[in-house]
Structure 1
Amino acid sequence: MIIILITTIIYLPLGIALSVSQPYRVEGKMGQAPLHCSFSSKFKPEELQVSLYKGLHGQERICTAYVNLSEPYFITDGSVHCRGNISSGKVEIIINGLNGEDTDIYRCEIEILFPPPYLRRVGNGTVVYIQETPNCPTAFTQSQSQSQTAQRASVISDVGPLPLLYAILIITSFSFLLQIMKNICKWRDTGSMAPKVSQKESYRQF
């Protein structure tokens, strides 16, 4: 009993020495969601570990990063990954790779690793709502398709019926040339088929 009381007296001030707060609700879109975790400590931290948990009481860790405040920017790996920055008692996190099914409560955990004493505190959680990306065409895509159709129509109207006329003219000229060549060949064949009279027959006629 005495040991428990002494432990409580020692660690109670340390627990109060660090507090973490989060907004109630944020909204994300296009697979991204911003999350802000504010923390205050009686001690000036130099090395932190920032972790993000999914669920109100779950232990599903989405991302975690060790951060030295001399280089406060961090980024993690994974299909769902985080990038962020720490400044003036605030952790600005951007969660990437989310979809509509990832809408849940996300809790921010701050651990002060240096200088001692070691402190750890988890935030109260933030409801992160992820909008589903619609599969139907948006107004932007519709305007793009309409502009492309208008461009095609303007090109057709600028060109006009000239290509069709050129094609008809070429086909007509080719047919005319073929007809002339056919007549020439027929005329030559007719000339070559004319009957030839021998010299003896010509003498007999005289």
Structure 2
Amino acid sequence: METRRNLWFFSLCFSAVIGLGGPNMILTQPRFVRANQNGEASFVCGFNSTEIGEEFQVIVHKGHIIKNTEVCSASFTNHTMKPLEKKSLLHCLVWPSKENVSITIWGLNVTDTDLYICRISRMHPPPYKESTGRGTVIYVNRAASYSRDQEADAGFLLTAVLTVLATLLFLYSISITVVYCKHKMKDDTIYINVRK
């Protein structure tokens, strides 16, 4: 009898410990996204709205989570479902809704082609739950990495080169004209009036 009671107590405690965290949230995100010409990429992290709770946090990692390369992080409550914009080396905008979180990252260049992993943590009510997506590969091609700043720099450089070239041609034509006029004035021809 004592053994049965201990076994029953052990199974009750074990099931309580196993079920304490509850089932994990199911988090989905696309496998592949291509950045547009401006170096901007958007993807959606979807989740089960019944598991999210009143307060949650969204974190986007670049590469593997172990390296702790956090690109975006935002915290939301059910009362403040407003978009959050974070500006760092990469700019991002996190827009929550009832069943997903839309994430837009811009300022991407070719070296930012990588795996971006979405992680959502339920902060309140307890128990704390966390779910990590499988990751989205964001591909940035060479054309997208050619930013507007580089385009402006290239335009300025072209204007400067053309201005210098035009100035040199103008100075060359002036100097040729001056040399010609001086040579013409030094002409040794003598005018003789023959009508006398």
Instruction: Give me the TM-score of the superposition, normalised by structure 2.
Output: 0.59
Unmatched 5+ residue regions in structure 1? 142-206
Cα deviation code 1:81-106 (max 9, x no counterpart): 21021112110010022111111111
1:71 matched to 2:80? The reply is yes
Q: Which has the larger radius of gyration?
A: 1
Pairwise CA distance, 1:75 = 1.1
Number of residues of Structure 1 aligned to a counterpart in Structure 2? 133
Take 1:99 and 1:37, find their aligned partners in 2: how far apart are those partners?
22
Q: Would you say 1:47 and 2:55 are equivalent positions?
A: yes
Q: Does 1:116 align with 2:123?
A: no
Sort the Cα spacing of 1:10 and 1:45 in 2 relative to 1 into closer, same or farther, 3 A.
Answer: closer
Q: Give distance in 2, aligned partners of 1:15 and 1:39.
A: 13
Distance of aligned partners of 1:130 and 1:48 in 2 relative to their CA distance in 1, 3 Å threshold: same
Of 23, 31, 39, 2:30 maps to 23
Q: Which has the higher helix share?
A: 1
Deviation string, structure 1 residues 45-102 (Cα, Å, up to 9, x no partner)? 2211100011145421111111123232111121212102111211001002211111
Report Cα offsets for 1:32-53 as digits up to 9, x if no partner: 1102100115445221110001
Q: TM-score, normalised by structure 1?
A: 0.57
The CA RMSD measured in Å over matched residues stands at 2.6
CA contact (8 A) 1:69 1:86 kept: no
Q: Is the 8 A contact 1:107 1:124 kept in 2?
A: yes
What does residue 37 of structure 1 align with? Answer: 45
Q: Aligned residues: percent identity?
A: 30
Please state how far the C-alpha of 1:128 moved relative to its aligned partner.
0.7
